[in-house]
A and B are shown apart, each in its own frame.
Chain A
Amino acid sequence: MHSPSPSRTSGATGQPAPAPIVQARSLSLVYPTADNRPVTALSEVDLTIARGDFVSLIGPSGCGKTTLLRVIADLEQPTGGSITVEGLTPEQARLKRLYGYVFQAPALYPWRTVERNVMLPLEIMGIPRAERQARAREELQRVGLSGFERKFPWQLSGGMQQRASIARALALKPDLLLMDEPFGALDEITRDHLNLHLTQLWRSTGKTCVFVTHSIAEAVFLSTRIVVMSPRPGRILDVIDCDLPRERTLDIRESPEFAAIAHRVRDGLKEGHSYDD
């Protein structure tokens, strides 16, 4: 069982390690079933995510990558091990609204305009109306949706809807952004575009991102670290540092360094497959 050392990323720069934003120790999640064949969604997962990192969770279906993300967000409770988010339990972190979550689908409310959708979390936090609106405008501008504030979600394309949902997650001003295959349902051209947008957003805001994907190219392009996972039981096979320069353009995908990292990820995924053959 691979268990990446917590000091791995910070060790590279030689500076003292800042407190990790997410820390999981021998985390496991087992779903009980009626026929006494419990499903192990997560098994002995050790993972440390440092502040400012862009971590991708990659693996085939059923490897528990979404489950891991949902455990971090307290949408799912682990059955063993421990996990902290910003030094708190996931539940405390959720109650303090310390993270923003972007789902596979935009999940925008059809009866609210784009702007009022972005304002929704702020309404729930009880932020005054004027500030709500200012922040919603700001975030919509950040994702390039200025001028669409008064539109309804169905008047936007799929890519724009997903951008609006990212703006909605950013409106909370969280340090931690959790994204569950946010671009999975989009076509490749839109996806490239949004990937570029996302990496620029990450660089300019300095947020920590945890990103679930099953696309190797997407993971390598976006991440500073790639967590390779494998199913049955869901576990971490390898954590690959992705030390491409932080400033990235789509051209980087043609570089040999990119190819080398992608190759390592592919090898890691293969290892997982040979395991259950």
Chain B
Amino acid sequence: MTTEAGTTEAGTTKPGRWASGRLADAVPVLVTTLVVLVLWYAGAAWLNLPQAEEALARSGKPFGGLDLLLQTYSMKRPILPTPDQVVVELWGSLTGYPLTSPRNLLFHAAVTAQAALTGLAMGVALGTLLAVGIVYTRTLDASLLPWVIASQTVPILAIAPMIVVILGNLGFTGLLPKAVICMYLCFFPITVGMVKGLRSADPLWLDLMRTYSAGGLRAFWSLRLPASLPFLFASLKVSVAISVTGAIVGELPTGGQAGLGARLLSGSYYGQTVQIWAALVMAALLSVLLIAVLRVVERLVLGRGGVQ
């Protein structure tokens, strides 16, 4: 599109630019992160100031500006805890208690992850099934696909407590209700992605299959399904993040037994802000970790299968 010379230039400089690009990319991210941290500390000082002042005044000792500042960073129940307080809380909970203790955040993360992954698996199964149906039958394509889209305009997370209660009435408690919520959230990206993916097979290849007089099933397994894998992984990465969100919200109405959502709720009941933040960070870490695992699996599957 640009000059001929321009394209050669881009071609020849790629390796060099990549190496320097890594660093050039990292700098803005680091600076932004730094700015966020600075703002965070400033915000913590500002928000916790009245509380800290009161605490120091109650102790009766005279205090200077520095004392006040330090006090804002070491409140027990600060309005905004500092990052170091959160990290200490997180680290303490991870190392200070056995994995089975409800005071260990990994225990809660595992509970949430279990629900999220079960829901994801169910969502993948449902989503793929729907996608195959939609791709192979025009009636479903016309009648079902609009409802699949409409299903996501419903604020499902709002219905989460409802589902938990209904399934509880049916005798299902614990993992399953949360997994059902996750499934409902997950199946949509999977369905949409898989419909796209299953249709992404080059029509030329499909014609080629026909010249081999290969049956529909054969074309599905050896052509459509492999062609859809990159789409499946893209959808999975979206799904796993919302699945974790779903699991956490699903834990809210269960009343603080186990799981990161329960931690959030109990933290909010007792004003334990540091605990809330630690649970939030744990949730973020869980999400990022699950996505990273998916990335690795994607690279293994797509790299080996030679799909791309």
In the complex, A touching B, CB below 8 Å?
yes
Residues of B near A62 (CB, < 8 A) are: 4-5, 8
Q: B4, B9, B12, B16: which has the most chain A beta carbons within 10 Å?
A: B4
Q: Does A63 contact B (CB under 8 A)?
A: yes
Residue among A34, A37, A234 making CB contact with B5, cutoff 8 Å: A234
Those of B3-27 within 8 Å (CB) of chain A: 3-6, 8-9, 12-13, 15-17, 20
Whose C-beta in chain B lies nearest to the C-beta of A60?
Answer: B4
Cα separation A273 to B106 with both chains bound (whole Å): 69
- The number of A-B residue pairs with CB atoms under 8 Å apart is 45
Tell me if A35 and B4 are in contact (CB < 8 A): no
A61, B4: Cβ atoms closer than 8 Å: yes
Q: Are B3 and A70 in contact (CB under 8 A)?
A: yes
Give A33 to B14 CA distance when docked, in angstroms. Answer: 9
A41 CB contacts on chain B under 8 angstroms: 3-6
Q: For the complex, what is the distance from the CA of A234 to the CA of B4, rounded to whole Å?
A: 10
A39 in contact with B8 given A33-B13, A34-B17, A34-B20 (CB within 8 Å): yes
Q: Determine if A64 is an interface residue (Cβ-Cβ < 8 Å).
A: yes
B20 touches A67 (CB 8 A): no
Which residues of A lie under 8 Å from residue B1 when comparing CB positions? 104-105
Pair A67/B13 contact, Cβ less than 8 Å: no
In the complex, chain B residues whose CB is within 8 Å of the CB of A34: 13, 16-17, 20
The CA-CA distance from A29 to B9 in the complex, in Å, is 12
Among candidates B3, B16, B17, residue contacting A67 with C-beta atoms closer than 8 Å? B3
- Asked if A66 is at the interface (CB within 8 A of a chain B CB), the reply is yes
Contacting B at CB under 8 A, from A88-116, are 104-105
Contact B12 A37 (CB under 8 A): yes
What are the interface flags for A102-145 relative to B under an 8 Å C-beta threshold, 1 for contact and 0 otherwise?
00110000000000000000000000000000000000000000
Residues of B within 8 A of A105 (CB): 1
Q: Is A31 close to B, CB under 8 A?
A: yes
Complex: chain B residue closest to A68, CB-CB: B3
A residues adjacent to B (C-beta < 8 A): 29, 31, 33-35, 37, 39, 41, 61-64, 66-67, 70, 76, 104-105, 231, 234
Q: Which B positions have Cβ atoms within 8 angstroms of A?
A: 1, 3-6, 8-9, 12-13, 15-17, 20
Some 14 contacts from A to B, beta carbons below 8 A apart, are A31-B9, A33-B12, A35-B12, A35-B15, A35-B16, A61-B4, A62-B5, A62-B8, A64-B5, A66-B4, A67-B5, A70-B3, A104-B1, A231-B4
